[in-house]
Every structure is written in structure tokens, then in C-alpha cells.
Amino acid sequence: MIRLTINGKTMALDVDPNTPLLWAIREQAGLTGTKYGCGVAQCGACTVHVDGQAMRSCALPVSAAVGKKITTIEGLAQGGKLTRVQQAWIANEVPQCGYCQSGMIMAVEALLKQKPNPTDADINAAITNICRCGTFQQVREAIHAAAKA
């Protein structure tokens, strides 16, 4: 058994320590907002926070997340209140198919914690998530809107 703390809840999961965190989150914890895209740490669809850092959960074994605070897209809103990033996403109509968007939002939340008012260069450097629908311009606008909120 592996004990993980996800969105403030500690749970014992019956997984091999080498299992990618993504699959423990989706299949064991049942939190399917975190998506599988490439499986090789390239696309960012699987991004979650581990102790506040954006991490690609497809490439992180669960053993590396033991004793750390894991946050998924389901754990962002507190008391039903969306974060300023989530609100900016809605206001700027960012998502198209939506598949990449939970990972995108998790990466952006982590960026704004480190850099509350990022430049376009900061965004380019930090947000390397891939969106097959090409929402990059809306993502950029929503990041700037969230930074000003």
C-alpha cells in the first residue's frame, strides 16, 4: 500500500511504487480531471502540483510523491469558489475540446505563484503544454487577465 495525500485527503492506494502518479490519481483515486496525452512528459496534459510545483504526473512514480501534498484540478476551487485563473479561463473562453486544459490550468496556477505578473517571455518559458486545438493566444490573454484580477 502507498499512502498519498491528494487534495487534502490522505488515502491508501494499492499500487506498485513505480506506477506513474497519473494512473494512481485517475484509476485508484478516481480523479479523472487529470488527462493522459503522451505519457513521456512532453504534452503537459497530466500536470498536477506536487508540493506546489507543477509536475508531469505521467513521468513521476508514486513513490516520489509519498509524503508530499498533491493537488489536482479537482482540488483548486475552495468551497465552490473558482480560482482567479479558472474564472479568467471562463471569461476569455479559452477551452476548445478541453482535453489539455486541466493540465494547462495547473501549469498556469504554478507560474502565477512564482511570477504574479508574468511577461509574454515568462509565459513562453514556463507554459510548454501542448494544445492540439491551438488555444495558445487565449491562454496568454487569460493569464494576463488572471494576473490583473
Q: Does residue 131 interact with ligand FES by CB under 6 A?
A: yes
Q: Considering the complex, state which of residue 36 and residue 145 has its C-beta at the smaller distance from ligand FES.
A: 36
Alpha-carbon gap, residue 129 to 45, rounded angstroms? 7
Q: Considering the complex, state which of residue 16 and residue 93 has its C-beta at the smaller distance from ligand FES.
A: 93
> Where is 87: in which H helix or E strand?
helix 84-91
Amino acid identity, position 71: T
Amino acid identity, position 83: T
Stretch 77-106 residues interacting with ligand FES (CB under 6 A): 95-101
Q: Does residue 75 interact with ligand FES by CB under 6 A?
A: no
Q: Which residues pair with 49 in a beta bridge?
A: 54, 71
Which grid coordinates belong to 105? Answer: 490550468
Which positions touch ligand FES (CB under 6 A)? 36-39, 41-46, 56, 58, 95-101, 131-133, 135
